[in-house]
Amino acid sequence: MKKVKHDTAIVIPTYNERENVLAICEAVLAQMDARIWIVDDDSPDGTGELADELASKEARVRVLHRRGRPRGLGPAYRDGFVQALSEDVDFVMQMDADFSHDPAMVPVLRQAAEEADLVLGSRYVEGGGTQDWSLLRRFISQGGSTYARLILGMPIKDVTGGFKCWRASALRDLHPERVASTGFAFQIEMNHLALKSGMRVVEHPILFADRLRGDSKMSFGIFLEGLLAVWRIRYRHGRR
């Protein structure tokens, strides 16, 4: 029997997403035939075990358990990217598990990546936006993006978003396993490296909704870490 080739791998990091993990996989696969990598940070609520049950029935889903490793969004994506790039895929996507990223946009971003090395799902370009956010949250998010853009010289509007589609060859050339940032600063550093490398980076509008179920992972500590990390990124890589 001829092996079916999935040309796109989608990396979804999870921590305590038991309420969402099955639904997000089902919703994504309903939109596009792809490989899904659930990267679980040893969730105490059983997210990883539930994902294992799904993977045992659905060949397009695989699970990476990060037991005994430092937790964090950056390390989870680094490990997930290594797994995704070890397969025969042309594109690698990344998205959240909590439905803040609309699964219906998965094929849209994938199609846009035909003409780019990196497509950013952007809240802050024309046609994009946020839903069910307070004024304070909008101010913090947009202010953080503007702050990072000015310090690093990045000509993009949404530098912290996590809904992206990479051309696999471009992602491989960046060596994401060497990126030092953890938290949300990982997104900033990857964008900065892509731009400094001369990659074709485009922003595509998305509507970012608040999570449907579960608790947000954002905190003041994570926000502060991101502000400080921008200077570490500038020291390490310079401005664009």
- Of 76-85, 99-108, 144-153, 192-201, least confident by mean pLDDT is 144-153
> pLDDT (tens digit, 9 = 90+) per residue, 149-204?
999 999 999 999 999 999 999 999 999 988 888 888 899 999 999 999 999 999 99
Give me the residues paired with residue 195 across strands. none
Predicted pLDDT at 1: 36
* Alpha-carbon radius of gyration of the chain: 17
Q: Domain 8-237 has what CATH class?
A: alpha beta
Contact 90, 166 (CB under 8 A): no
> Amino acid letter at 45?
D
Token output for 21: 């993990």
Q: Is the pTM of this model over 0.85?
A: yes
